[in-house]
């Protein structure tokens, strides 16, 4: 299968076998692309992954940061992507000539981690992917939970500040969790601390005109720069608040954290665990595990391939070559 994680800033695709081993992978930046350009980039990536594969691809799975109609594979509401209202599965099937399956990217990260990753064996798990926003998926009673219309697990849009700033990308909420725990949130804290501490490595990087994006801030934090560490710690503590709220609602066995921000490792997870321990009942958190995703930033791509394996085995597809494209 070809698995594709189509995020808000980058696309990751790969050829994935039945055991969820990745044989070929490719990535490309998609930030700022319009609808047609993004669809073209996704189709081109799939065709390239097919050409690189040693065996013929049977189907394609897509993870998209959006609310997906599970029956048709259409995008009901796009978050961080200009895909709202698109019959995505059918459109991509026509472009790549293979059956296509699509689901929310957070759901697919949870599927991958539950099937073969850090949540394997758990009947109750929450998987968070921290990147442009917060992707999330819920494993309840051993199964991926999608809700009444496929829109469950939008944990990044949980409002935690009643009078907070408006969210972005089609969310009508205010003070949503992803405004405080995400790549952009880390960048904002890094910019503020760089200005406050111009002699720090973070401050010097800003003075040199280097973008204070997540990878640079994480690198400087790992190198021991105090300002970068503080920026990561602030986001980590906010992550702890989010996790504490979620475990009071869902009582999971494990919370798995992935996405680009997990590159910070224990600099992110350590403070989050400490805050969870302080803010929840011991009975609730004493057996809870908070772990990094096994598949890291590839969880969505691998989960997309797992979706395609499952869908093809069930005998259907949301999108099939030759069918009429209906918006």
Number of Cβ atoms within 10 Å of the Cβ of 267 = 18
Q: Residue 13: which of 32, 29, 22, 26 has the closest Cα? A: 26
CATH code assigned to 2-108+298-313: 3.30.420.40
**pLDDT tens for each residue of 148-158:** 988 899 999 99
Res. 42: pLDDT tops 50? yes
Model pTM score: 0.90
Residue 315, CB half-sphere, CA atoms under 13 Å: how many? 0
CA angle 122, 124, 128 (to 5 degrees): 95
Six-digit token pair at 250? 């869902």
Q: Is 236 left (phi over 0), alpha (psi -120 to 50) or beta?
A: alpha
d(CA 93, CA 62): 11
Six-digit token pair at 75? 């995008």
Same fold, 2-108+298-313 and 120-293: yes
Q: Which residues contact 262 (CB under 8 A, 6 or more apart)?
A: 130, 268, 292, 293, 296, 297
For the chain, which residues make up each domain, given as ranges?
Answer: 2-108+298-313, 120-293
d(CA 92, CA 141): 33
* Residue 211, pLDDT score: 95
CATH code assigned to 120-293: 3.30.420.40
Distances 44 to 26, 38, 39, 61, 293 between C-alpha atoms, Å? 11, 10, 9, 14, 28
> Rg (Cα) of the chain, in Å, rounded?
19
**Average pLDDT taken over every residue of the chain:** 93
**pLDDT tens for each residue of 47-83:** 999 988 778 899 999 999 889 988 889 998 887 788 8
d(CA 111, CA 11): 19
Of 131-135, 146-150, 186-190, highest mean pLDDT: 186-190
How many helices and strands (H and E) does the chain possess? 10, 12
* Bigger pLDDT: 76 vs 211: 211
* Residue 70, pLDDT score: 86
**pLDDT tens for each residue of 248-297:** 999 999 999 998 899 999 999 999 999 999 999 999 988 999 999 999 88
């Amino acid at each position: 299968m070809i698995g594709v994680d189509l995020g808000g800033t980058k696309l990751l695709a790969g050829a994935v076998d039945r055991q969820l081993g990745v044989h070929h992978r490719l990535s490309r930046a998609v930030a700022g692309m319009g609808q047609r350009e993004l669809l073209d980039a996704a189709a081109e990536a799939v065709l390239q992954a097919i050409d690189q594969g040693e065996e013929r691809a049977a189907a394609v799975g897509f993870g998209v940061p959006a609310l997906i109609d599970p029956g048709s594979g259409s995008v009901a509401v796009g978050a961080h992507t200009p895909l709202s209202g698109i019959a995505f599965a059918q459109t991509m099937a026509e472009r790549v000539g293979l059956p296509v399956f699509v689901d929310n990217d957070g759901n697919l990260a949870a599927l991958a981690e539950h099937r073969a990753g850090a949540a394997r064996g758990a009947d109750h798990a929450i998987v968070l992917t921290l990147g442009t926003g917060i992707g999330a998926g819920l494993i309840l009673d051993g199964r991926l939970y999608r809700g009444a219309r496929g829109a469950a697990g939008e944990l990044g849009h949980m409002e935690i500040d009643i009078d907070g700033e408006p969210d972005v990308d089609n969310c009508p909420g205010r003070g949503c969790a992803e405004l405080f725990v995400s790549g952009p949130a880390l960048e904002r804290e890094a910019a503020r601390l760089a200005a406050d501490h111009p002699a720090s490595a973070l401050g010097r990087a800003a003075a040199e005109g280097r973008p204070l994006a997540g990878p640079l801030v994480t690198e400087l934090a790992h190198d021991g720069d105090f300002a970068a560490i503080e920026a990561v710690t602030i986001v980590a503590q906010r992550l702890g608040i989010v996790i504490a709220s979620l475990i009071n609602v869902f009582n999971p066995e494990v919370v798995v954290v992935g996405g680009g921000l997990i590159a910070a490792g224990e600099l992110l997870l350590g403070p989050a665990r400490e805050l969870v321990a302080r803010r929840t009942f011991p009975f609730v958190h004493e057996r809870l595990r908070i772990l990094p995703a096994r598949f890291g930033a590839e969880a969505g791509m691998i989960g997309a391939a797992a979706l395609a394996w499952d869908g093809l085995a069930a005998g259907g597809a949301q999108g099939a070559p030759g069918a009429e494209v209906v918006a």
